[in-house]
């Protein structure tokens, strides 16, 4: 690589850090205002019912749309905040995967009947605890959002490190989209069909980049199921 290319790479780092710092603070500040937008429509509806004893169907529908859009915006800002926090203010150490998965299943609002199972041949890895929990959460919630009923997590040792494997029985992903799904703000279906910010897998990729690892997906697309493989290098 030329000296000019090295300088270009060196210049990008501080700029990226400054942008992420800005995103972190703007996301945090905006969420306070967005939270108000999620509750004010409910207050309007309650006040109308108290004053008039009812609410016209057209008004109820408009209030519902406003509430849904405010919630969608809040979720997007929350995910932007999560994205900006990857790698920030964390120390690295031994992460027990059973404990991390337990925290994920406790915190996520998973659909009724959705099953999570695990078989960790290697029960721990070296990394940043918050980021590892976020990685698992992103991959499990991605499966749930796209119609899977079951997700199975496993680990295996490899010559290049440790592999965390997340398999689901969802509809599968066309190979032509395998790279695209890890890009920011990417959804393969309209948000009215699959609720999401389009940031989940981008967050997963950023976490693996921060850990000097890789993440890939294996899915034929025309058959059921997808397999996400996150490879962590040896510490």
**What tokens were used for 64?**
């519902």
101 against 224, higher pLDDT: 101
Instruction: List the one residue out of 232, 230, 207, 227 whose CA is nearest residue 151.
Output: 227
The pLDDT value recorded for residue 49 is 83
Instruction: List the one residue out of 227, 228, 234 whose CA is nearest residue 212.
Output: 234
36 against 107, higher pLDDT: 107
Query: With bands split at pLDDT 50, 70 and 90, how would you rate the model's confidence at 77?
Result: confident
Report, as an integer, the average pLDDT of 42-62: 83
Q: pTM here?
A: 0.76
191 against 156, higher pLDDT: 156
Note the CATH number of domain 3-85: 1.10.287
**What tokens were used for 134?**
């976020």
Torsions phi, psi for 233 (to 5 deg): -70, 160
Paired residues of 115 in beta bridges: 150
The pLDDT value recorded for residue 2 is 36
**In 140-208, which ranges are E strands?**
150-158, 161-168
What would the pLDDT profile of 137-179 be if each residue is shown by its tens digit? 999 999 998 889 999 999 999 887 899 999 999 988 888 888 8
The pLDDT value recorded for residue 136 is 98
CA atoms of 148 and 172, how far apart (whole Å): 9
CA atoms of 170 and 149, how far apart (whole Å): 7
50 against 29, higher pLDDT: 50
Report, as an integer, the average pLDDT of 49-73: 83
Torsions phi, psi for 60 (to 5 deg): -60, -40
The pLDDT value recorded for residue 118 is 97
Domain boundaries, the chain: 3-85, 93-232
The pLDDT value recorded for residue 87 is 84
Report, as an integer, the average pLDDT of 194-206: 80
Instruction: List the one residue out of 13, 215, 198, 21 whose CA is nearest residue 132.
Output: 215
Length of the chain: 235
**What tokens were used for 144?**
């749930």
What would the pLDDT profile of 210-229 be if each residue is shown by its tens digit? 999 999 999 986 678 999 99
Cα atoms in the Cβ-side hemisphere of radius 13 Å centred on 10: 7
The pLDDT value recorded for residue 232 is 96
1 against 129, higher pLDDT: 129
Report, as an integer, the average pLDDT of 184-201: 64
CA atoms of 9 and 28, how far apart (whole Å): 29
State in words which class domain 93-232 has: alpha beta
């Amino acid at each position: 690589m030329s000296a000019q290319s090295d300088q270009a790479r060196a210049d990008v780092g501080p700029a990226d850090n400054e942008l992420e710092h800005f995103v972190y603070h703007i996301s945090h500040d905006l969420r306070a205002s967005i939270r108000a937008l999620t509750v004010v429509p409910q207050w309007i509806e309650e006040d109308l019912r108290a004053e008039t004893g009812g609410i016209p169907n057209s008004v109820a529908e408009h209030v519902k749309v406003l509430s849904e859009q405010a919630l969608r915006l809040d979720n997007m800002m929350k995910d932007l905040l999560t994205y900006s926090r990857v790698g920030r203010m964390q120390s690295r150490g031994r992460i027990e995967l059973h404990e991390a998965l337990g925290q994920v299943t406790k915190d996520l609002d998973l659909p009724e009947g959705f099953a999570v199972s695990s078989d960790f041949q290697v029960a721990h890895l070296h990394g940043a605890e918050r980021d590892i929990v976020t990685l698992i959460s992103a991959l499990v919630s991605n499966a749930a959002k796209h119609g899977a009923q079951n997700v199975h997590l496993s680990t295996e040792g490899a010559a290049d490190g440790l592999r965390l494997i997340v398999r689901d029985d969802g509809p599968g992903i066309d190979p032509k989209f395998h790279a695209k799904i890890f890009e920011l703000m990417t959804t393969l279906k309209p948000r009215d069909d699959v609720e999401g910010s389009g940031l989940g897998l981008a967050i997963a990729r950023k976490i693996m980049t921060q850990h000097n690892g890789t993440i890939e997906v294996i899915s034929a697309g025309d058959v059921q199921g997808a397999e996400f493989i996150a490879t962590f290098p040896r510490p």
